[in-house]
């Protein structure tokens, strides 16, 4: 019987180079954790496109840049957790985020993201962690976020949000 790699954790090493395109050959991979390395460049859409079993993607504390591939994420139907904090990621939080139907954890703290929180966040009814602090997001905190009633951690600090604190935030009993 042939075995498959379902978890790959190479945390806190000195791994260099770009996001490995070859990761896409691990078709049964459920957890990919490359936190705290020295990876650079873009998050490989071609590699992620083949990881249909992926549930957890954790790439914290590297030196990745470019846009977050939300369109690819939305095609990964089992994806639950996305951890992309402390990079140089740019771009926006794309409306396709709302299509990541099983998403429970989304952490993009300390990047260079701009734009607004998309109203499609209302589709993420399983969301428990939403951490977008220390970016360049702007606009109002969307009322559509109140559909995320399972939130236990909400971090919006050090952005350029404006307007009033929405009343619904006080109704999130899990915070």
3-state helix, strand, coil in the chain (%, to 5): 20, 25, 55
- What pLDDT digit, counting tens, does each position of 45-99 carry? 999 999 999 999 999 999 999 999 999 999 999 999 999 999 999 999 999 999 9
Unique residue bearing structure tokens 């909400």: 154
Residue that the structure tokens 């078709």 belong to? 27
Mean pLDDT of the chain: 95
Inform me whether the pLDDT recorded for 35 exceeds 60.
yes
Exposure class string for 31-45: b at 16+ Cβ within 10 A, else e: bbbbbbbebeeebbb
What the block records as the tokens of 81 is: 């957790």
State the pLDDT at residue 38: 97
Q: What is the DSSP string of 37-64?
A: SEEEE---HHHHTT-TT--EEE--SSEE
Whole-prediction pTM value? 0.95
pLDDT-derived band at 2, boundaries 50, 70, 90? low
1 — pLDDT class (breaks 50, 70, 90): low
């Amino acid at each position: 019987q042939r075995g498959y790699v379902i978890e790959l954790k190479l945390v806190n090493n000195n791994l260099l180079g770009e996001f490995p395109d070859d990761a896409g050959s691990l078709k049964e991979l459920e957890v990919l954790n490359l936190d705290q390395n020295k990876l650079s460049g873009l998050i490989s859409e071609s590699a992620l496109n083949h990881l249909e079993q992926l549930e957890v993607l954790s790439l914290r504390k590297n030196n990745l840049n470019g846009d977050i591939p939300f369109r690819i994420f939305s095609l990964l139907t089992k994806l639950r957790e996305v951890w992309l904090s402390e990079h140089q990621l740019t771009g926006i939080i794309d409306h396709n985020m709302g299509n990541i139907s099983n998403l429970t954890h989304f952490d993009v703290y300390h990047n260079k993201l701009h734009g607004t929180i998309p109203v499609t966040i209302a589709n993420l009814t399983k969301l428990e962690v939403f951490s977008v602090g220390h970016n360049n997001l702007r606009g109002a905190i969307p009322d559509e976020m109140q559909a995320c009633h399972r939130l236990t951690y909400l971090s919006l600090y050090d952005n350029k949000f404006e307007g009033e604190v929405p009343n619904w935030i006080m109704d999130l009993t899990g915070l």
